[in-house]
Structure 1
Amino acid sequence: MNKVLVIEDDVMMSDMLAMYLSEEGYSVKQSATGDCGLKLLELYPPDVVLLDLMLPDWDGMKLCSTIRQASGVPIMIVSMKSEVSERVQALRAGADDYLCKPFSMHELTARVEALIRRTRMVQAVPARAASPEVPEARLPEEQILLDADRRLLLVRGVMVETTFSEFELMKLFLSHPGKVFSREDLINAIRGFDSFVTDRAIDVHIVNLRRKVEQNAKEPKYIRTVWGVGYKYMTESDG
Structure 2
Amino acid sequence: MTKVLVIEDDSILGEMLTLYLTEEQFDVERVESAREGFQALVKFSPEVIILDLMLPDADGPILCTRFREKTPVPIIVTSMKNAVADRIQAITLGADDYLTKPYSVQELKVRIQALLRRVNAAQPVPAGAAAARDRILLNGERRTIMLEGHNIETTFSEYEMMKLFMQYPGRVFSREELLNSVRGIDSYVNERAIDVHITNLRRKLERNPKEPQHIKTVWGIGYKFIK
TM-score by length of 2: 0.91
- 134, 141, 145: which one pairs with 2:137? 145
Q: Which amino acid in structure 2 is aligned with residue 173 of structure 1?
A: F
Aligned partners of 1:165, 1:214: CA distance in 2, in Å?
Answer: 18
Aligned partners of 1:6, 1:12: CA distance in 2, in Å?
Answer: 13
Q: In the alignment, is the contact (CA less than 8 A) between 2:175 and 2:191 conserved in 1? A: yes
Match of 2:75 in 1: 75
Aligned partners of 2:70, 2:148: CA distance in 1, in Å?
Answer: 21
* 2:182 is the counterpart of 1:196: no
Aligned partners of 1:165, 1:189: CA distance in 2, in Å?
Answer: 10
Q: Where do residues 1-239 of structure 1 align in structure 2 (5 Å cutoff)?
A: 1-122=1-122, 125-126=124-125, 129-130=126-127, 136-140=129-133, 142-192=134-184, 195-235=187-227
Q: Give runs of ≥4 in structure 1 deviating > 3 Å.
A: none
* Identity rate, percent: 51
Deviation of 1:136 after TM superposition, in Å, equals 4.2
Q: In the alignment, is the contact (CA less than 8 A) between 2:157 and 2:183 conserved in 1? A: no
Q: In the alignment, is the contact (CA less than 8 A) between 2:92 and 2:193 conserved in 1? A: no
Q: CA-atom RMSD, angstroms? A: 1.9
Q: Describe the superposition over 1:136-162 as per-residue Cα deviations: whole angstroms up to 9, x where unpaired.
A: 43222x110011222110012211122
Q: How many correspondences in the alignment?
A: 227
Pair 177,2 (structure 1): closer, same or farther in 2 beyond 3 Å: closer
Specify the SS of the correspondent of 2:5: strand
Determine which structure has the larger strand proportion and give its number. 2
Pair 113,182 (structure 1): closer, same or farther in 2 beyond 3 Å: closer
In the alignment, structure 1 segments of 5+ residues that lack a partner are: none
TM-score by length of 1: 0.87
Pair 202,10 (structure 1): closer, same or farther in 2 beyond 3 Å: same
Q: In the alignment, is the contact (CA less than 8 A) between 1:118 and 1:193 conserved in 2? A: no
Aligned partners of 1:180, 1:116: CA distance in 2, in Å?
Answer: 25
Specify the SS of the correspondent of 2:138: strand
Q: In the alignment, is the contact (CA less than 8 A) between 1:96 and 1:194 conserved in 2? A: no
Pair 159,206 (structure 1): closer, same or farther in 2 beyond 3 Å: same
